[in-house]
Structure 1
Amino acid sequence: MNLPTVLRVDGFRFFFFSDEHLPIHIHVEKGDGYMRVELETFKVTKKYKLSTNDEKKILALIEEHQHELMGAWHEYFNC
């Protein structure tokens, strides 16, 4: 399965799977940590092995790069 990486910042890798579904969301990993966040609402739908500081940093990065992340989703999935 293809895992397109959209962004790498501060050791975080932002990516999606090639067979994604709605709602629009992004997967983020750093080391053993992982988080999945809906891009329109910033709702965290999964999280493990990340500190509170990492979670805050990820959400801030998603807010900062929201347009880029959503654009990559729409471009990749042609929607």
Structure 2
Amino acid sequence: MPTVFNLFGYRFWFYGNDHSPIHIHVKKGGAVAKYDILPISLVYNHGFKPSELKMIETIIKDNEEIIAQHWNMFFNNAK
């Protein structure tokens, strides 16, 4: 499970056998969520409060290019 980055206690990662479209998983404590990146949209949420989801979405927007670069580098090299 490649970790893209950790920020404010949130871990942003994807699975090594993940699938398109580009998306990111987020975890903090026992809460998890998944966001598609292009466009940014919440796929599922298990345990995050609305205020946390807003912060997570802002972090993803601010780092959208980095997330996509990590995804493309990982999966292009995995072939």
TM range (shorter): over 0.9
Q: Per-residue deviation at 1:56?
A: 0.3
User: Whole-Å Cα distance in 2 between the matches of residues 18 and 66 of structure 1?
Assistant: 19
User: Partner residue of 1:10?
Assistant: 8
Give unpaired runs (5+ residues) of structure 1: none
Equivalences for 1:1-79 in 2 at 5 Å?
3-78=1-76
Normalised by the length of structure 1, the TM-score is 0.94
Q: Per-residue deviation at 1:14?
A: 0.1
Normalised by the length of structure 2, the TM-score is 0.94
User: Whole-Å Cα distance in 1 between the matches of residues 46 and 53 of structure 2?
Assistant: 10
Q: Deviations over 1:18-67 (max 9, x none)?
A: 00101110000000111100011111111010011110000000000000
- Between the two proteins, the alignment pairs up a number of residues equal to 77
Matched residues, percent identical?
A: 29
User: Whole-Å Cα distance in 1 between the matches of residues 26 and 39 of structure 2?
Assistant: 16
Give unpaired runs (5+ residues) of structure 2: none
User: Whole-Å Cα distance in 2 between the matches of residues 31 and 53 of structure 1?
Assistant: 16
User: Moved runs in structure 1, 4+ residues, more than 4 A?
Assistant: none
